Amino acid sequence: MNNKNVFWGIILVVIGALFVFDNLDWFDFSFRALFDMWPALLIIWGISMLPIKGGVKTTLSVITVLLAVLIGITRDYSDHWSTKLNRHVQMRGVNWDNFEDEDSYSDNAYTYSFTEDYDKSILTAVLNMDIAAGKFRIEDTTAFLIDFEAENNIGQYEKEIMKNGSTTEIYITLEDGRFRSGTNKNRAYIKLNPEPVWEMKMDVGAADFVADLREFMIGKIDIDGGASSIKLKIGEKQNETNIDIESGASAVKIYIPESAGCEVVSNTVLSDLDLDGFIKDGNNYRTANFNTAKQKIYIQLDAAVSALNVIRD
């Protein structure tokens, strides 16, 4: 058995388990603690390179993971959150006496929505999102350029629209977004206009991102995240689409048209590639029809740990 597979397999299982246990409220786990645990990856990677027996490597790796998880689930982040929270409240002129305690504030969800008008002069639209962690959905069209709705309990959204000729850029950020021990909620629902060519740039901490993009012309998708679960559906409306995903750990499922030619480049420490109908060419994987297909889809995946499934339908 490949010891490196064991090490990185342990990491993937632990990260997934932490997300599941937090969602089930079995214990409180701060997403900020997850990022504080990243140095453990470097330790385990170093252990995998040591000239010692495989059994010793596995034991050291398991001990490192257990210690990291123990610190993550027991460390108190409340002081850090309280400091940020007080500053956040004071800046907005809110009377702290209206809140009984910190828990009542966490239950006070923010809601945010906006629309931007569309006109036919817009040929390219760029959606830039810098929004910490959460669940994000793109599943419908709109007569507006964009229709955005969000709810969370971690901070306020802000937007900026910049127009340059036939290109409109939309910037959506989560101001003062802070995670705390307990249940963190951050959900966004997005509708887009199907007329322009879309580019998407998403900077997220830990994302559950689902996007049905079959009704849109998608030129480029860049996702930069920590631990991500990503599901994309690409249609036949654009001749060339580039998908670039960078993450610490990711589970990615991408649906593409069977008639499209697709190339996959995966640079990962540990990867589980499910690429039915692809032919390996060095570090690349290509569909048999890649050279002759009118539509081409390029997928680049860079992750410490990843599971990639490309489905042709």
Range of the domain at 27: 3-74
Residue 199 lies in a domain: yes
Asked if the model's pLDDT at residue 7 lies above 60, the reply is no
Q: Are residues 118 and 265 in the same domain?
A: yes
Q: Are residues 68 and 179 in the same domain?
A: no
Residue with tokens 């590639």: 273
Q: Are residues 57 and 198 in the same domain?
A: no
Q: Are residues 113 and 15 in the same domain?
A: no
Give the residue from 214, 242, 244, 220 showing the smallest Cα distance to 230: 244
Domain boundary among 55, 74, 93: 74
Q: Are residues 144 and 255 in the same domain?
A: yes
- pLDDT band, residue 91 (cuts 50/70/90): very low
Residue 158 lies in a domain: yes
Residue 87 lies in a domain: no
Residue 92 lies in a domain: no
- pLDDT band, residue 93 (cuts 50/70/90): very low
Q: Are residues 13 and 134 in the same domain?
A: no
Mean pLDDT over all residues of the chain?
76
What is the number of domains present in the chain?
2
Q: Are residues 188 and 233 in the same domain?
A: yes
Q: Are residues 211 and 137 in the same domain?
A: yes
Residue 86 lies in a domain: no
Q: Are residues 133 and 207 in the same domain?
A: yes
Q: Are residues 137 and 54 in the same domain?
A: no
Domain boundary among 74, 99, 134: 74
- For the stretch 186-217, pLDDT in tens is 889 999 999 999 999 988 777 788 999 999 99
Q: Are residues 56 and 140 in the same domain?
A: no
For residue 35, what are the β-bridge partners? none
Cβ-defined contacts of 281-284 (< 8 Å, 24+): none
Domain boundary among 47, 74, 101: 74
Give the residue from 158, 112, 151, 149 showing the smallest Cα distance to 134: 151
Which of 40-44, 98-102, 227-231 is the most confident on average?
A: 227-231
Return the pLDDT at 45: 63
The pTM score is 0.66
Q: Are residues 157 and 268 in the same domain?
A: yes
- For the stretch 126-150, pLDDT in tens is 999 987 778 899 989 999 999 999 9
Residue 99 lies in a domain: no
Average pLDDT in the 217-240 region? 90
Residue 80 lies in a domain: no
Residue 100 lies in a domain: no
Contact 187, 170 (CB under 8 A): no
Contact 201, 128 (CB under 8 A): yes
